[in-house]
């Protein structure tokens, strides 16, 4: 199976071919640097997410401020990396084939975007993360009701969401690769 890194390299090879580069919509609009930036973002976020999957959220029985803070930093960083990677993939589609793919049915795609927005803006969404329950790749989020309604717990399990998202990211990049191959035959 292709990986995000392998597909990024394939797209970069296309883009580095001067003749092919002139055929993409970005060349007609003067946005070639946007393609390079999207490819660089795709590579950087892929490395960040690989690090997160390898390291996971720090765990310790000692809940020092540094340990708790590092958990939040890892979590927010992983969610932001997904968000940036998604934008890079969508931008590559727009810049290379002048179209954006539908992502509404892709497992993990919208849910990770929504969690990133919710957890990085908790005051807007009336949520808190229970720091004592942040596990290696799962966390419990408290969704607070309005007025006197009781809070509800919701488990966010990145062990399920991140692999599902990554599979769908590969599908979108593979489709883009196939679209470009068909266009340049």
Residue 129 lies in a domain: no
Q: Is residue 121 part of a domain?
A: no
In a domain? residue 54: yes
Residue 153 lies in a domain: no
Domain count, the chain: 1
- Distance from C-alpha of 172 to C-alpha of 168, rounded to nearest angstrom: 6
- Contacts (Cβ under 8 Å, ≥6 apart) of 57: 71, 74, 75, 134, 135, 136, 137, 139
Residue 53 tokens, joined: 């999957």
Neighbours of 123 (CB within 10 A): 7
Residue 50 lies in a domain: yes
Let me know if residue 155 belongs to a domain: no
Q: Looking at the DSSP assignment, which residues form a beta bridge with residue 140?
A: 155
Structure tokens at 134: 């942040």
Closest to 11 (Cα-Cα) out of 126, 104, 119, 97? 97
Running along the chain, 185 residues long, what does each successive block of 10 average in pLDDT?
86 84 74 89 94 72 73 86 96 91 89 88 81 67 68 80 92 94 79
CA distance 123 to 126: 5
- How far apart are the C-alpha atoms of 8 and 3, rounded to whole Å? 8
CA distance from start to end of the chain: 24
CA angle, residues 91, 96, 94, in degrees to nearest 5: 35
Let me know if residue 168 belongs to a domain.
Answer: yes
For residue 26, what are the domain limits? 4-105+160-183
Q: Is 113 a domain residue?
A: no
- Give how far Cα 10 sits from Cα of 30, 31, 43, 87, 97, Å: 22, 20, 12, 19, 15
Please tell me what DSSP assigns to residue 144. P
Q: What is the pTM of this model?
A: 0.85
165, 115 in Cβ contact below 8 A? no
């Amino acid at each position: 199976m292709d990986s995000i890194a392998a597909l990024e390299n394939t797209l970069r090879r296309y883009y580095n071919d001067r003749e092919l580069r002139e055929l993409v919509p970005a060349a007609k609009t003067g946005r070639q640097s946007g393609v390079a930036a999207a490819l660089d973002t795709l590579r950087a976020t892929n490395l960040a997410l690989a690090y997160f999957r390898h390291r996971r959220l720090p765990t310790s029985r000692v809940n020092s401020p540094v340990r708790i803070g590092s958990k939040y930093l890892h979590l927010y960083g992983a969610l932001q990396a997904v968000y940036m990677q998604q934008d890079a993939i969508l931008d590559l589609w727009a810049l290379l084939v002048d179209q954006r793919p539908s992502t509404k049915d892709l497992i993990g795609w919208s849910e990770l975007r929504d969690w990133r927005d919710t957890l990085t803006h908790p005051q807007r969404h009336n949520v808190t993360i229970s720091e004592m329950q942040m596990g290696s790749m799962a966390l419990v989020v408290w969704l607070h009701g309005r007025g006197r309604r009781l809070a509800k717990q919701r488990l966010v399990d990145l062990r399920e969401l991140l692999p599902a998202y990554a599979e769908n990211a590969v599908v979108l990049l593979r489709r883009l690769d196939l679209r470009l191959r068909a266009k340049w035959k």
